[in-house]
Amino acid sequence: MKSLIAESVEKSFGNRHILRGCSLSAAAGERIGLVGANGSGKTTLVRILAGEDWPDHGEVRRLGTMAWLAQDPVLPGRTVGESLREAVGWHATLLDAYTAALEAGDMDAAGTHQDRLDLVGWEIGHRIESIQDRLRTPPSDAPIANLSGGELRRVALARALLAEADVLLLDEPTNHLDAETVVWLEGFLAGYRGAVILVTHDRYLLEAVANRIVEIEGGECVAYDGSYTDYLIARAERHARLQQLESRRLNMLAREAAWAARSPSARTTKQKARLKRLEVLQGQKHWTAPKEMSLNLSTGEKFGGTVVDVQNLSKGYDGRTLISGLSFSLAPGERIGIVGENGAGKSTLLRMLLGKEAPDSGEVLTASRVTVGVLDQARTGLKGDDSVFEAAGGGNDHVWINKVPIHVAGFLERFLFTREHLDQRVDALSGGERARLLLARLLLGGSSMLFLDEPTNDLDLLTLRVLEEALLDYDGAALIVTHDRAFLDRVCTSVLAFEGEGQITRYASRTQAEAAMAKRRAAAAAEAKRAAAAKRVVEAAAPPVKAVRPEKRLSYQERKELEKLPAEIESAEDVQAGLTAKLADPATYQGGVDISQITAQLSELESSLETLYARWEDLEARA
């Protein structure tokens, strides 16, 4: 059964027609990867599906519950705990429905609700704690107002996963997550009982989770069954077929147009039919292959030796060591990936290398004539009230690339900005469009060294591929902080791994770094197991502790109390048995009896019995 159906959805912003008739549906067990070029309308469509925006035309039918992770979420509640508890309101509703079904004597409904509660758990607190631990959210008492952008995203993702919705809409869920957390998220989404619609640049996540890919192309949704790899193959085959059909149409159109230009004298039925066919060919929608961004970061300059030499660098905050005695060098053609948990110190290292933050000890030596280009995680460097044209050209009509002047409009076309974009304000751009504009400015800088902090965030998959190719051909040096495993594997020549307590090790690859981490964890687990076993051996060998009989004897009143206790306990147990039998009798639920009162009475009686037993044991021990 479909949980979500969107039919012929259209959406425009000013004179920009984004969606031109998108149709999409999702059912339980379907995990849909929504892909497309930046600005193609992925986020717009997800917002419409979530009910946060409305289509100009078309229809969206939501036949189940929805949970949505936005790129810039707004959280309810004053604290993290309040916000997460609000997300599991469905659990309290389910408990109330179960109780109401029991009281109404609707055993079928009660059984259904009980099965659901058995599956999700009768107590929701442990589930909240587990998700918080996995996503490494701030503590429950942390004020929402004090959270960073990454912390807000992680709490918002936790809310979406806790909502147990029929349809889960996730817009770039891996932003601000480390590699270990992304691997856990893969498993969670792969086993999700409902439908998942996922917008992400993480190709490994798409490959592991998605069983259908929907691409927004030309404002329409094109669906491909299978994984991300299946999509790449099927897409290439589809484009090849469309290109052949378009070539055939153009050839036929040229022949028919040439024939019509000869102005045949006799307008026979056959000739009229041929002219009609010409009109049909001219009116057919033509297909053009999607444009790809053009990016060449190479400078053509020659550098000998190292570009940067780091010697015995150390840094810490508030008694915590982030970096201890780090030394490494970076030469032209090398691209070092920096990996580690959030908060490990990766961005701190970049700031020290850029000279924006002083180390506690050590030094950073940079070669002369080195020009540095930076793409930071916050995507700073653009003025929101500038137009795209002004941001790219700095107020000039032309930019210079390799000492050759190029008109700004033509330069921006390389980065897939059309004439419609030129007058658009920067603050109205999507995250991916801002990233493309910053990459354009990076190209103009002619940098011989690049510092890239999470460069893959908000980029579409096609632009990612272009950026990868540009970095592979880059003749300078690059330091790249990223959690994107596919990007690391393809681009980086080595990896600096933050391993905790200031220890940073250089590895040949991400997989080598992860293998070393797994080995350390296994060794730590084995050591903990050995320590526990040794403790048990010591405890077993120790002489038994002889129980010391309390010297205090029973008073007269306590002896009388001890004599009465067995009868009191027996009487309470009889009442308990009666109440239990009453709750087990189906007729109880058909006679207008207050079930909640009986349940409360039984709970109070059980507590009283525990107190009586404890008192009996204490008096017996001293008798």
Q: Are residues 242 and 339 in the same domain?
A: no
Determine the average pLDDT of the residues in 280-290: 69
Same domain, yes or no: 80 and 42: yes
CA dihedral sign of residues 193, 197, 201, 206:
positive
**Calpha distance 87→158 (Å, rounded):** 9
The 10 Å CB-count burial string (b at 16+, else e) for 392-422 is bbeeeeebeeeeeebebbebbbbbbbeeebe
Mean pLDDT of 247-268: 70
The answer to whether 361 touches 504, Cβ cutoff 8 Å, is: no
Do the domain assignments include residue 521? no
Same domain, residue pair 95 and 45:
no
Sheet holding 320-330, edge to edge: 320-330, 308-317, 361-366
User: Residue 373's CB: how many other CB atoms inside 10 A?
Assistant: 21
Beta-carbon contacts of 316 under 8 Å, excluding residues fewer than 6 positions away, are: 322, 323, 360, 502
Q: Are residues 495 and 370 in the same domain?
A: yes
* 76 in any annotated domain: yes
> What are 470's two structure tokens?
């540009």
Q: Of 174, 206, 233, which residue is a domain's last?
A: 233
Contact indicator for 463, 444 with CB cutoff of 8 Å: no
- Cβ pair 345, 322 in contact under 8 A: yes
- pLDDT for the residue 293: 77
**Helical axes 461-472 vs 431-445, angle rounded to 10°:** 20
Query: Are residues 178 and 156 part of one domain?
Result: yes
The answer to whether the predicted template modeling score (pTM) of the entire model surpasses 0.75 is no
Helical pair 80-87 and 149-162, crossing angle rounded to 10 deg: 30
Q: Is residue 288 part of a domain?
A: no
Residue 543: strand, helix, or coil: coil
193: in domain: yes
Which residues are bridge partners to 362 per DSSP? none
Q: Give the structural domain span for 171.
A: 2-87+119-233
In a domain, 539, yes or no: no
Are residues 566 and 424 located together in one domain of the fold? no
Q: Do 178 and 250 share a domain, yes or no?
A: no
* 312 and 351 co-located in one domain: yes
Q: Are residues 125 and 55 in the same domain?
A: yes
In a domain, 175, yes or no: yes
Mean pLDDT (whole number) for 352-374 = 90
Q: Give me the amino acid identity at 357.
A: E
Per the domain annotation, does 242 fall within a domain? yes
Please indicate, yes or no, whether residues 447 and 341 belong to a single structural domain of this protein: yes
Question: Given the DSSP bridges, would you call strands 494-498 and 477-481 parallel, antiparallel or unpaired?
Answer: unpaired
CA distances from 5 to 40, 60, 190, 193, 462 (A): 20, 6, 22, 18, 27
pLDDT tens digits, residue range 204-242? 999 999 999 999 998 999 999 999 999 999 998 988 888
Q: Using an 8 Å Cβ cutoff, are 102 and 595 in contact?
A: yes
CATH code at position 566: 1.10.287.380
Q: Which is higher by pLDDT, 40 or 586?
A: 40
Q: Do 510 and 603 lie in a common domain?
A: no
Backbone angles phi, psi at 406, to 5 degrees: -135, 135
- 3-class SS at 130? helix
Domain total in the chain: 5
Q: Which of 82-96, 245-259, 374-388, 557-571: highest mean pLDDT?
A: 82-96
Instruction: Indicate if 96 and 55 belong to the same structural domain.
Output: no
531 is a domain residue: no
